[in-house]
């Protein structure tokens, strides 16, 4: 399929497009031009048209984009038309914050299982999510057929946890640790470093805004 070959930068913008289309749909907007789309999400119109071109003819010259048709299209390619279960490994302070956030309130992504080594957490339910012993992770991932794993574990065990999750069939990781994970080519890792993001923000404030 064409969407498997799109650039990573384009792939990162797809959820932004989807969320704005949802807002338009809820506001009863039927169509929108690429220029108005660009103004709203702060991505230039040429980039939007190029991103959309990877998927074929999604709009009409002089008409713009049909909101409902485009929303349904992105819903399919982002798997928002079905529930996706993910696992969380590491129920420390940050892990608990993610459980509180509860992804499925805003999308069709749901944390359906979490794993930890702390006895006081094991066999409890946090925000509707069962917490299992880390020793059960491989079996539970297999039984629940979970392919996506969120890592909020100490950096020193991140690679080990990743390796074990891959043994259980995991194909993608949202990695909040400082370790850059080593994985096979068929496994995707999205690294999220909040410190780096904050430092980048401060740099832009100091050097680009003043």
Quote the CA–CA distance of 72 and 21 in Å, as a whole number. Answer: 9
What is the structure's pLDDT at 105?
A: 56
Report all structural domains of the chain as residue ranges with CATH numbers, in order of start.
Answer: 2-77 (1.10.10.10), 84-195 (3.40.50.720)
| Cα separation values, 182 from 14, 49, 110, 158, 166, Å | 26, 35, 26, 10, 11
Average pLDDT in the chain: 87
Q: What is the pTM of this model?
A: 0.72
Whether 59 has a binding-site annotation, put simply, is no
Tell me the pLDDT tens digit for each residue of 74-124: 888 887 667 788 999 999 999 999 998 866 555 678 899 999 999 999 999
Tell me the pLDDT tens digit for each residue of 190-202: 999 888 888 888 8
What is the structure's pLDDT at 128?
A: 86
Kindly tell me if the per-residue pLDDT of 2 is higher than 50. Answer: no
Choose from 58-67, 104-113, 184-193, 200-209 the range with maximum mean pLDDT: 184-193
Taking phi first (over 0 means left), then psi (-120 to 50 degrees means alpha), and beta for anything else, what does residue 22 get?
Answer: alpha
Whether 62 has a binding-site annotation, put simply, is no
Whether 94 has a binding-site annotation, put simply, is yes
What is the structure's pLDDT at 204?
A: 79
Whether 95 has a binding-site annotation, put simply, is yes
């Amino acid at each position: 399929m064409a969407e498997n070959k799109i650039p990573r930068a384009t792939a990162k913008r797809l959820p932004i497009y989807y969320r704005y289309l949802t807002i338009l749909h809820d506001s009863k907007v039927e169509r929108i031009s690429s220029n108005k789309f660009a103004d709203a999400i702060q991505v230039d119109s040429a980039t939007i048209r190029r991103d959309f071109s990877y998927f074929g003819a999604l709009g009409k010259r002089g008409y713009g984009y049909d909101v409902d048709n485009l929303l349904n299209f992105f819903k399919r390619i982002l798997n928002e038309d079905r529930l996706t279960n993910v696992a969380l490994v590491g129920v420390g302070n940050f892990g608990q914050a993610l459980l509180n956030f509860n992804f499925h309130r805003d999308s069709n992504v749901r944390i359906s299982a979490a794993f930890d080594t702390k006895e006081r957490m094991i066999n409890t339910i946090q925000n509707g999510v069962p917490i299992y012993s880390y020793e059960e992770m491989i079996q539970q991932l297999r039984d629940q057929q979970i392919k996506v794993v969120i890592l909020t574990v100490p950096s020193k065990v991140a690679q080990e946890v990743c390796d074990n999750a891959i043994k259980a069939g995991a194909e993608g990781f949202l990695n909040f640790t400082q370790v850059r994970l080593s994985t096979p080519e068929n496994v995707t890792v999205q690294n999220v470093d909040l410190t780096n993001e904050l430092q980048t923000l401060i740099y832009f404030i100091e050097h680009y805004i003043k």
